[in-house]
Structure 1
Amino acid sequence: MKIVVITGATRGLGLEVTRQALKSEYKVIAIGRAKSEALEQLQDQYPEHLIFEAYDFNDLSGIHKLATSISKNHGRPWGLVNNAAIGYDGVLATLHEKDISQLIRVNIEAPILLTKYLLRPMLINQQGRIINISSIIASTGFNGLSVYAATKSALTGFTKSLSREVGKVGITVNTISPGYMETDMTNELQREKKQSILRRSPLGRLASTEDVASSIMYLLSEKSSSITGTNITIDAGSTA
């Protein structure tokens, strides 16, 4: 059974990827700050195949230990989905330095370090899948999200270069860039703002977490062996 590590797995997109991975008979190491009720229910359904690891990626010092523990206790991973991220809404001129530092730490440094340490067992196996979750904001920009956009752009560049480093040993590295998705967060948007987003989509809707997770599942599969260094946008066509 292939092992997949998913960060930010307790809600939203990460939870849906976890759900689909379990249905596809992967063993999932789900990482999050605290176990959610929804993840608890999944664990009841798949007690042998879902392992939860509590970790806050604001702390970089324990990532090596976390990765080592995963490989030692559960086996060498086949896949890694770097989904965990934070976002602060605020223009750069008034954004606190501590918030800027935290964005960089959680959204850039943490996934790079986790990838570094989980890549080592993948190199031993000479196979693997790494998927970094970026955002359309990295390419389109958005008022008040300049630092967040910078962190997501960094993941895209990281993906392209890393794909060249590890491609010769059968490891693929790709980025998924979702647009706005149907989540609890977007459901709370003001009606006018949500309608504005919907008007930009040729399909007249937002992408769902199921849509995005399905693409991640394809990239995790052996069928995607010829896709690497690529960024896939899933936004119901809003950036077309």
Structure 2
Amino acid sequence: MLLITGASGGIGFELFKKLSIKNDVIAISNRKKIENNARGICVNVNLLNHNEIDQLISKYGKTFDEITVLNLAVQSFDGLLANYPIEKVRETFELNLISNLYLLQGLLPIMLNQKWGRIIHFSSIVGNEGAKGAGIYAASKSALIGYSKTLSKEYGRFGITSNIIELGYFEKGLIENFNKEKIKNIISNTSSRRLGVTDDIIHAIKFIQKSDFYNGEILKLNGGK
């Protein structure tokens, strides 16, 4: 069973479509409604509302078996740090980190009972290196590192792993906001001379699913820099 947050985003939606062909998938979306697909169902949940997370666990928890959580839900507001509204800082951390933790607090008892679980957080090259106007987003993603490593140390002995997939530039997602010249420059500075595709991420997910010895790590999926 896969649980995908942020399933209406560019990369999240592509993963939902492909993974649900052969896997049971629950896709979480908030602002945008998406249709069920093959073995996948979409549920509308506002991750900023903890009561809605509780309702999700209550409704579907008994069907969860060998859970892989793909945490793709993300929020980012562009703005220089000196002028960044504090309420936007709180909202960004609430979605990018706190909702992630609250969801896992509901899922961990199920994982512990089954002695198996895969927690996969998603970050990005911007989250690691920072970028002008994306400081709070980068800060929230940097916080994932200590959080994920702590999860790995607390629950690894129970067959539950926690890792981060750090994405470079892919054909879907952030790249869709760039002009052709910037995309061309990105590709020319990537060793693989191409943008990433959804299958690259699926291969990484399958590797993490199959290994209980890969734990507390950051898997950089960027085509080589």
TM over 0.5: yes
What residue number does 1:225 align with?
A: 212
- Which ranges in structure 2 are unaligned for 5 or more consecutive residues? none
Which whole-Å CA distance do the structure 1 matches of 2:64 and 2:194 have between them?
40
What residue number does 2:84 align with?
A: 95
Which whole-Å CA distance do the structure 2 matches of 1:219 and 1:17 have between them?
15
Number of residue pairs matched?
Answer: 225
| Letter in structure 1 aligned against 2:19 | A
Which whole-Å CA distance do the structure 1 matches of 2:176 and 2:111 have between them?
39
Which whole-Å CA distance do the structure 2 matches of 1:164 and 1:136 have between them?
25
> Is 2:46–2:52's contact at 8 Å kept on the other side of the alignment?
no
> Are residues 184 and 126 of structure 1, via their aligned partners in 2, closer, same or farther at CA, if it must alter by over 3 Å?
closer
Which whole-Å CA distance do the structure 2 matches of 1:126 and 1:60 have between them?
25
TM-score (norm 1): 0.86
CA RMSD of aligned residues (A): 1.9
Which whole-Å CA distance do the structure 2 matches of 1:79 and 1:5 have between them?
6
- Which ranges in structure 1 are unaligned for 5 or more consecutive residues? none
What residue number does 2:53 align with?
A: 63
> Is 1:17–1:216's contact at 8 Å kept on the other side of the alignment?
no
TM-score (norm 2): 0.91
1:135 is aligned, of 97, 116, 124, to 124
- Deviation per CA, 1:72-97: give whole Å up to 9, x if none: 3x234521111111111111111212
What residue number does 2:11 align with?
A: 13
> Is 1:68–1:117's contact at 8 Å kept on the other side of the alignment?
no
Structure 2 counterpart SS, 1:90: coil
> Is 2:2–2:25's contact at 8 Å kept on the other side of the alignment?
yes
Shift, 1:187, TM fit = 3.2
Shift, 1:20, TM fit = 3.2
Q: Which runs of 4+ in 1 moved over 4 A?
A: none
Which whole-Å CA distance do the structure 1 matches of 2:3 and 2:28 have between them?
8
Tell me if 1:80 matches 2:69. yes
